Amino acid sequence: MKNILVLCHNVEPSMRKLLAVGAVALTLSLSSCAGSNMNKGGQGGVGGAAAGALIGQAIGHNTQATLLGAAIGGVLGYVIGNEMDKADQQRLNTVYERGPSGQATAWVNPDSGNQYRVIPQPSYTNESTRKICREATVEAVVDGRKEIAHTTACRDAYGKWHLQN
């Protein structure tokens, strides 16, 4: 432990903050997997919040950006983790890839009964990453509760879309 403290003492203050956020994120992520009864939504929320906090800190370099990133990541992680199984995620990927802009694509998961409606917008090239990206509104009805998320996804080199926010 003493060696870790010495290591952290020699790190610049801005990097210490990032390391602290990373340590908290790692702890939360690992604790969510350790035999808990946490559902996929809880695990997704924890993982999303951790990832969002790291991204927020990396982009904004301040507490406000970190908290905003954690909040956005937590909500998206919860929605994706809780309400979308692998088949639903594949359908969402297909909508990002081939869905007509401005037109809703809807489906009902036969196993869970969850309902989804996705309205993608035209794709564009992200200037900083040079990746093809697309925004969409995702409406989900789960257990009679309607949730709406405004998302952005970008395509990787293999054609798979990854949520950015």
Long-range CB contacts for residues 148-153, cutoff 8 Å, separation at least 24: 149/75, 149/76, 149/79, 151/76, 153/96
Domain ranges of the chain: 2-83, 86-163
Higher pLDDT, 54 or 119: 119
Residue range 118-146: mean pLDDT, rounded = 94
Per-residue pLDDT, 92: 92
Pair 122, 60: CB distance under 8 Å: no
pLDDT of residue 122: 98
Q: Is the pTM of this model over 0.75?
A: no
pLDDT at 63: 74
Who has greater pLDDT, 48 or 12?
48
pLDDT reading at 55 higher than 50 = yes
